[in-house]
């Protein structure tokens, strides 16, 4: 006869809920049944991949925890497509110089006004990501300011959920620019950098396995 | 500072599991540039490994987060990718064991023999490593038809007990009894099926 506790545990496992077991340890027979239920549930097709929002959110939290040199604001920008578009607009306006004031409608925190001092035209560096077949994978814009910013968009890179970008300096050094999270094959990244655009030579995109997907030379 | 454990075994490129279902490639000895590379290269593998052992997203996400928070701080980046992955899986093993101790008092599942094998698998392939589905299907295949069907409906096809009862043309209480007996038999079969 099955106990209610075991029955409730199995129901939770079958439904994909977090199962609870209260009041004492299960016996060996119950353990075997619970283990089997978990094994069968974990085999449900299509359920074993991590949720993209979870991956993004954990990345943001870890960045806050392990990379305090990056302002939290940067991480927020990195994780929301709408806000990345905001920086895209800022980068675009930077082409003509002047001060940009943009209004961002954040879903959870109301409306925020962000003032960005746009730099002069000669401080911009622009490049196009291309793979070895010459196919365009995206663009990168770097402009000088306090701080300097790098903005990039990436498009149609196979079926990856994210790609990694590294910046190449004129002295041969390599600096990690960050991870571009892709949705439907597209993604954007906005990031502050602690170096001037004049010190950058180009950038490279890498897939999850470390394979080079494409590169850009900055003009 | 953590010194990543040595992988005790290596396999040549293109070798496969005992079942021959996965083609493994030995990770090269490149190092990770930063923690973000470690994260992006291993988040999928770790989540899937943990999910296969807990069977629900909420626990899998909590434990995956705990693994990275525990592992990243003392992690050295001057060791090979293979050693980093082995270290992450060892951390996952510990985190999972602690989870069962805390929530159940006994160890229900563990990341154990898989660790070395998983540490050698290079990501970038869409068919990621988990023998859980294959093993589950082998267990189901060994059951009588009605036992197999009730478990398929409940665990693989996302049916409630009412829906499963309706699909099998039995009462809800009969479906519950059937499910329980089927799980008992599946547990016995599972002990004889290779991991």
Identify the pLDDT of residue B85. 85
Determine whether the interchain pair B108/A35 forms a contact, defined as Cβ–Cβ distance below 8 Å.
yes
Res. B150: pLDDT tops 90: yes
Residues A137, A105 share a domain: yes
Longest dimension (CA), chain A: 79
Q: Say if A169 is an interface residue toward chain B (CB within 8 Å).
A: no
Q: Looking at the structure, do residues A101 and A32 belong to the same domain, yes or no?
A: no
The least confident of A1-5, B53-57, B118-122, B166-170 is: B118-122
The reply to whether A11 touches chain B by the CB within 8 Å rule is: yes
Check whether residue A63 and residue A38 sit in a common domain: no
Query: How far apart (Å, rounded) are the C-alpha atoms in residues A65 and B66?
Result: 13
DSSP B63-108: HHHHHHHHHHTT--SSSBHHHHHHHHHHHHHHHHHHHHHHHTSS--
Q: What is the CATH number of the domain that holds A110?
A: 2.60.40
Asked whether A187 and A174 are in contact (CB, 8 A), the reply is no
Distance CA(B36)–CA(B182), nearest Å, equals 45
- More confident: A108 or A129: A129
Nearest by CB: B155 against A37, A55, A210: A37
This complex has an ipTM of: 0.80
Q: Contacts for B189-193 with beta carbons within 8 Å, 24 or more apart? A: B189/B139, B189/B142, B189/B143, B190/A32, B190/A35, B190/A36, B190/A39, B190/B135, B190/B139, B191/A32, B193/B135, B193/B138, B193/B139, B193/B142
Distance (Å, rounded) from C-alpha A175 to C-alpha B173?
63
Q: Are residue A25 and residue A97 in the same domain, yes or no?
A: no
- Clarify whether residues A57 and A142 are in a common domain: yes
Interchain CB distance below 8 Å, B52 and A48: yes
Residues B64-79 have pLDDT tens digits of 999 999 988 888 888 8
Closest residue in A to B162 (Cα–Cα): A11
* CA atoms of B104 and A25, how far apart (whole Å): 6
Q: Does A187 touch chain B (CB under 8 A)?
A: no
CATH 1.10.10.10 domain position(s) in chain B: 132-192
Position B145 scores a pLDDT of 95
Instruction: Name the domain count of chain A.
Output: 2
Instruction: Find the domain containing A202 and state its range.
Output: 52-217
Report yes or no on A147 lying in a domain: yes
- Fold that domain B132-192 belongs to in CATH: Arc Repressor Mutant, subunit A (1.10.10)
Q: What is residue A194's three-state secondary structure?
A: coil
Same structural domain, A65 and A149: yes
**Same domain (yes/no): A74, A154:** yes
Q: Are residues A67 and A147 in the same domain?
A: yes
Global confidence as pTM:
0.57
List pLDDT tens digits, range A19-34: 988 778 888 889 999 9
CA distance B91 to chain A (A): 17
Task: Say if the Cβ atoms of B132 and A43 lie within 8 Å.
Answer: yes
DSSP notation for B123-135: S--SS----HHHH
């Amino acid at each position: 006869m099955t106990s209610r506790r075991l029955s409730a545990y199995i129901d939770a496992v079958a439904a994909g809920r977090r199962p609870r077991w209260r009041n004492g340890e299960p016996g060996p027979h119950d353990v075997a049944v619970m283990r089997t239920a978990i094994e069968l549930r974990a085999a449900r097709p299509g359920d074993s991949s991590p949720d993209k929002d979870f991956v993004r959110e954990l990345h943001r939290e870890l960045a806050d925890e392990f990379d305090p040199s990056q302002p939290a604001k940067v991480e927020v920008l990195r994780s929301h497509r709408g806000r990345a578009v905001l920086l895209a607009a800022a980068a675009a306006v930077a082409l003509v110089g002047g001060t940009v004031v943009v209004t961002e409608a954040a879903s959870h925190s109301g409306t925020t006004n962000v003032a960005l001092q746009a730099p002069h035209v000669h401080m911009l560096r622009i490049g196009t990501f291309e793979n070895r077949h010459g196919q365009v994978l995206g663009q990168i814009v770097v402009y000088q300011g306090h701080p300097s910013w790098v903005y990039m968009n990436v498009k149609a890179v196979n079926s990856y959920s994210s790609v990694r970008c590294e910046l190449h300096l004129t002295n041969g050094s390599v600096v990690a620019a960050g991870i571009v999270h892709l949705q439907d094959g597209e993604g954007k990244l906005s990031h502050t950098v602690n170096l001037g655009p004049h010190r950058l030579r180009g950038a490279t995109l890498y897939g999850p396995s470390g394979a080079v997907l494409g590169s850009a030379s900055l003009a | 500072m953590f010194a990543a454990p040595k992988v005790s075994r290596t396999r040549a490129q293109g070798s496969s599991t005992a079942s021959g279902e996965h083609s493994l490639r030995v990770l090269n000895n490149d190092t990770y540039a930063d923690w973000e590379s470690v994260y992006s290269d291993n988040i999928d593998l770790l989540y899937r490994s943990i999910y296969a052992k807990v069977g629900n997203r909420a626990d899998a996400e909590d434990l995956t987060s705990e693994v990275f928070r525990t592992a990243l701080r003392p992690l050295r980046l001057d060791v090979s990718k293979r050693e980093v992955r082995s270290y992450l899986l060892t951390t996952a093993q510990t985190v999972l064991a602690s989870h069962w101790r805390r929530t159940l008092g006994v160890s229900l599942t563990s990341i154990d023999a898989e660790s070395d094998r998983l540490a050698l698998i290079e990501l970038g392939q869409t068919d990621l490593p988990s023998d859980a589905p294959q093993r589950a299907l082998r267990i189901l295949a060994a059951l009588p038809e009605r036992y197999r069907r009730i478990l398929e409906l409940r665990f693989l096809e996302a049916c409630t007990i009412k829906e499963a009862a309706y699909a099998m043309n039995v009462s809800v209480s009969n479906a519950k009894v059937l499910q329980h007996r089927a799980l008992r038999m599946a547990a016995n079969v599972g002990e004889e099926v290779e991991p």
